[in-house]
Structure 1
Amino acid sequence: MYKDMVGRKSDKVKNVVERGLVRRFAESIGDQHPIYLDEETGEKSRYGRNIAPPTFPRVFDYGTVEGLDLPKKGLIHGEQNYHYTRPLLVGEEIYCHIEVEDYYEKSGGNGRMGFLVMKRYGEDAQGNVVFTEEMITIITEAVRKAMNV
């Protein structure tokens, strides 16, 4: 189904770790730790400024993998893991892209399911990887039938 997409990636997209967005994100996840919200705490921290919560990269734009057309509904969020070399700093620019890592299928009690493995990357302005995010999206038999595949 998506085997031919493996190895394809999007172009890099510039994102900014904006203070207001970090605040709204932290409030929305119920984690109002001062390191995310209070400027004085950020300045006194070992980072010299505020940082973003670990799952903050969910709000970034990663661009589009040309030809990867996923259905708008019916997908299952299977797994998601973040790996950091350092925290995201409020105010910095992060360049993001996504790559299709793998696609495989398994049969189960609900029919044949597809597993789309993608990896997202966030790099600083010097091209150093700050984080990676690995995620698996499950495409159920019902969704596959609706897509006529």
Structure 2
Amino acid sequence: MFREYIGLTSSKTRNVIERELVRRFAESIGDAHPIYIDEEFGRQSRFGANIAPPTFPRVLRSGSIEGLKLPLKGLIHGEQIYHYKRPLLVGEEVFCYSKIEDYYEKEGSTGKMGFLKMKRYGEDSHGQLIFTEESITIITETVRRSLNV
């Protein structure tokens, strides 16, 4: 179904780690640690600035992969793993892109399910890797039928 997309990569998309967005994100996940929201605390930290929570890259744009059209509903979030070289700093530019790593299918009790493995990358303005995010999206039989496959 999506095997032809394996190896395809989106173009890099510029994001800015905005202070207010980090604050709202931290509040929404119930983690108001001062390293995320208190400017003075951030300046005094070993990073010299506030940082974003570890799962913050989820809200960053990473471009689109040409031709890949996933439905807006009916997908299942299977897995998500983050790896960091260093934290995301409030105020910095981050360039993100996605790559389709794999697609495979398994037979389930309600029919065939597809597993789409994607990897997102975040780099600084010098092209140095900051983080990667690996995720698996599960495409149920019902969704597969709606896509006419």
Pair in the same fold by TM > 0.5: yes
2:67 equivalent to 1:72: no
2:102 equivalent to 1:102: yes
The code of the aligned residue for 1:71 comes to: P
Which structure 2 residues correspond to residues 92-131 of structure 1 after superposition, within 5 A? 92-131=92-131
Name the SS for the 1:11 alignment partner: coil
- Any unmatched runs of 5+ in structure 1? none
Which structure 2 residues correspond to residues 50-65 of structure 1 after superposition, within 5 A? 50-65=50-65
The TM-score normalised by the length of structure 1 is 0.99
Name the SS for the 1:98 alignment partner: strand
The code of the aligned residue for 1:88 comes to: L
Displaced runs of 4+ in structure 1, greater than 2 A?
none
The TM-score normalised by the length of structure 2 is 0.99
The code of the aligned residue for 2:33 comes to: H
Q: Deviations over 1:37-92 (max 9, x none)?
A: 00110011000010000001111110010010101110000000000000000000
Name the SS for the 1:100 alignment partner: strand
The 2-side partners of 1:13 and 1:133 are apart by 15
The count of residues paired between Structure 1 and Structure 2 equals 149
| 2:26 counterpart residue number | 26
The code of the aligned residue for 2:108 comes to: G
Shift in Å, 1:17: 0.4
| 1:142 counterpart residue number | 142
Name the SS for the 1:57 alignment partner: helix
Shift in Å, 1:147: 1.2
The 2-side partners of 1:49 and 1:148 are apart by 49
Name the SS for the 1:143 alignment partner: helix
Shift in Å, 1:137: 0.2
